[in-house]
Amino acid sequence: MIKFSRILVIVVFTICIWIALPKDSFSDMNHKRLPVRSKIIEVGQGYGYEIWIGEKLLVKQEFIPAINGEITFKTPEEARKVANLITKKLLERSNPEISVEELVSLNILTLKH
């Protein structure tokens, strides 16, 4: 009976602590918004983007990532799609690298068979 009482006290104590703590203490911290923003830039005859965190420039991408060569985005919209994806990844605290598959899914590249 004493062992059961101890277990019951521990369970009740744990539940009380869980209820008392702020809800985001158990979350993934993804809900905390970082001051991340993007800016589209002109690069020669094309476009690129910058990713800023607060007042600090984190990325200046003048060429399409994940492909060989120095190829700019054709339109500001293409650059914006990738910048938005990177911003989303940063806010989710995931790896901000871009793959060829992601460029294809954003209709920036097409795979030739």
Alpha carbons 61 and 113: distance in angstroms, whole number: 28
With contact defined as beta carbons under 8 Å apart, do 50 and 73 qualify?
no
Task: Please give the tally of structural domains in the chain.
Answer: 1
Q: Is 75 within the bounds of a domain?
A: yes
Examine residue 61 and state whether it is found in any structural domain, yes or no.
yes
**Choice between 4 and 60, residue whose per-residue pLDDT is larger:** 60
Residue 69: which domain range?
Answer: 36-105
In the predicted model, is pLDDT for residue 21 greater than 90? no
Closest by CA to 23, choosing from 31, 11, 35, is: 31
Identify whether 3 is part of a domain.
no
Residue 42 domain flag = yes
Q: Would you say residue 44 lies in a domain?
A: yes
pLDDT digits (tens, 9 = 90+) for 28-52: 444 456 589 999 999 999 999 999 9
Q: Check residues 67 and 26 and name the one with the higher pLDDT.
A: 67
In this prediction the pTM is 0.68
